[in-house]
Amino acid sequence: MENRTEVRCFILVGLTNDPGLQLPLFITFLLIYIITLIGNLGLILLILLDSRLHTPMYIFLGNLSLVDFCYSSTVTPKVIAGFLMGDKIMSYNACASQMFFFANFADVENYLLVSMAYDRYVAVCKPLHYATTMTTHMCVCLLIGCYICGFLNASIYTVDALSLSFCESNVVHHFFCDVLAVMIISCSDRHVNELIFVYVASFNIFFALILIIISYTFIFTNILKLQSAAGYRKAFFTCASHFTAVSIFYGTIIFMYLQPSSSHSMDTDKIASVFYTMVIPMLNPLVYSLRNKDVKSAFTKIILRSG
């Protein structure tokens, strides 16, 4: 079988070619990445060090922080280096690796949010059975399932995109090797490949979203039945952080990937991509920590102990 891929590297157009914006954007994205690293790795460390946070909710949250750190690190350092040194060339293998790992971690996050929704459903709707339902074995099984789904879906996306021929152009109109952006520059018929991508992505996103909506339907129904104002507030704050993270993540993903191809604008797509590749991983630790008394208490305890 002949190798249909003729290009050996891809050239990433990036966010902008304006020389005057390179330094400000470099500083901005460097700060975002530093906050992302500190926020996510700090939250993971906090969960590991405080035994009170060794519960299903925080086990999932720790894995969410790990995934946010990983998929931001898949994209952001290359973007920062591009602003600093102007290096926008990426080898074929590096592009394939970035595509795979980004899709992998994004899909893991997709299913982690489902697992966290189920955890919140059990906590609010079946509190007396929480300890017997959300066991360590159940958490491990859910986490393994998330990572397996991420690996399988990322494999499909990557093989689907790189099975195309690239012979006329190697210029990717994006700041990273996104599946759709790479598919667009193919010189072969990509209709079937795009359909495969859209169907698989749509299934994963909407299957996860439907499960989350079902969980929250039961949760909100249960909250409305509560007679106590204190119980109402407790149930609401138990789910508020997760619901916020879900809204941000799925709103951006649906806007980015599931709109008709005729309405795609590369500039709009790149702005949306900045949001979900860099901003969301930075925001998640803040969303889950700012209104969380357990996290604040654990942080205070660690600071006092170190002091």
Q: How would you class 85 by CB atoms within 10 Å of its CB: exposed for 0-12, middle for 13-18, buried for 19 or more?
A: exposed
Q: What are the tens digits of pLDDT across the range 225-273?
A: 776 666 666 666 667 777 777 887 888 777 765 555 544 555 667 777 8
Q: pLDDT category, 7, cuts 50, 70, 90?
A: confident
Q: What are the tens digits of pLDDT across the range 40-62?
A: 999 999 888 888 888 898 899 99
Q: Where are the domains of the chain?
A: 9-306
What mean pLDDT is predicted for residues 155-175? 88
* Cα–Cα distance for residue pair 209/261, rounded to 1 Å: 22
- Which listed CATH number (1.20.1070.10, 1.10.15.40, 3.30.565.10, 3.30.70.1060) goes with 9-306? 1.20.1070.10
Q: What are the tens digits of pLDDT across the range 22-35?
A: 889 999 999 999 99
pLDDT given for residue 237 in this prediction: 66
Q: What are the tens digits of pLDDT across the range 192-237?
A: 998 999 899 889 988 999 999 999 889 888 877 776 666 666 666 6
Q: At residue 127, does pLDDT exceed 90? A: no
Structure tokens belonging to residue 148: 């397996």
Q: At residue 189, does pLDDT exceed 50? A: yes
What mean pLDDT is predicted for residues 156-166? 90
Q: CB 130: neighbour CB atoms within 10 A?
A: 17
Q: At residue 1, does pLDDT exceed 60? A: no
Q: In what order do the strands lie in the sheet with 89-91?
A: 89-91, 9-12, 171-172
Mean of the per-residue pLDDT values of the chain: 84
pLDDT given for residue 239 in this prediction: 72
Q: pLDDT category, 2, cuts 50, 70, 90?
A: very low
